[in-house]
């Protein structure tokens, strides 16, 4: 969940919350020796425990689908980031995010293996995935065809499948050990 700009007295809060293990910074991806330009280096802050965040915000299951619906997407992305980070660490891989300055391109999660292999992941709070949802993934594959080993959309659907363009679609509920 990306944090809004904090008032001056609270600008140190992300550092303090990270030290308390409440925020989990996802660094900007800076791949060496690639043609990618204008990469943003600022970390994206995910919540280390989306359930705790929902509780602290007073969001119940009912309010998350009603008045608190604007928080459902960021909380879902934080949950996915938590799961992906655990799997990445087990594989000795690093997790980051990709965003070009100006916001032209953005990929929610980049998992980079020890030999530079890249798994690019988009997170979608939807059961269906369309061409617009995968356009940045396909762009990255075109930019780095020798490094991108797979493209993945993690969503809220009920079945896993591979799209004709090669992008894998996997519901969060099917990820696991």
Give this prediction's pTM: 0.81
How far apart (Å, rounded) are the C-alpha atoms in residues 93 and 87? 8
Q: Mind listing the domains of the chain with CATH numbers?
A: 8-174 (3.40.1350.10)
What's the pLDDT at 131? 97
Q: For residue 54, give the 3-state DSSP assignment.
A: helix
pLDDT < 50 stretches in the chain:
1-12, 17, 20-21
How far apart (Å, rounded) are the C-alpha atoms in residues 125 and 130? 12
What's the pLDDT at 11? 44
What's the pLDDT at 39? 67
What tens digit of pLDDT does each residue of 119-128 get? 999 999 999 9
What's the pLDDT at 69? 74
Instruction: Tell me, rounded to whole angstroms, the distance of Cα 85 from its chain centroid.
Output: 10
Phi-psi region of 169 (alpha: psi -120 to 50; beta: other; left: phi over 0): beta
User: Length of the chain in residues, anyone?
Assistant: 177
Instruction: Tell me, rounded to whole angstroms, the distance of Cα 154 from its chain centroid.
Output: 9
């Amino acid at each position: 969940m990306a944090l809004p700009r904090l008032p001056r007295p609270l600008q140190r809060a992300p550092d303090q919350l990270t030290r308390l293990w409440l925020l989990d910074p996802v660094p900007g991806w800076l791949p060496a020796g690639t043609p990618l330009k204008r990469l943003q280096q600022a970390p994206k802050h995910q919540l280390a425990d989306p359930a705790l965040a929902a509780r602290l915000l007073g969001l119940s299951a009912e309010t998350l689908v009603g008045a608190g619906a604007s928080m459902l997407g960021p909380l879902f992305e934080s949950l996915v980031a938590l799961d992906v980070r655990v799997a990445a660490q087990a594989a000795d891989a690093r997790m980051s995010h990709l965003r070009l300055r100006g916001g032209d391109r953005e990929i929610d999660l980049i998992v980079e293996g020890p030999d530079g292999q890249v798994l690019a992941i988009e997170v979608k709070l939807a059961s269906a995935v369309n061409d617009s949802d995968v356009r940045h993934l396909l762009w990255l594959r075109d930019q780095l065809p020798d490094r991108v080993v797979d493209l993945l959309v993690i969503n809220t659907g009920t079945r896993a499948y591979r799209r004709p363009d090669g992008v894998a679609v996997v519901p969060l509920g099917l990820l696991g050990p």
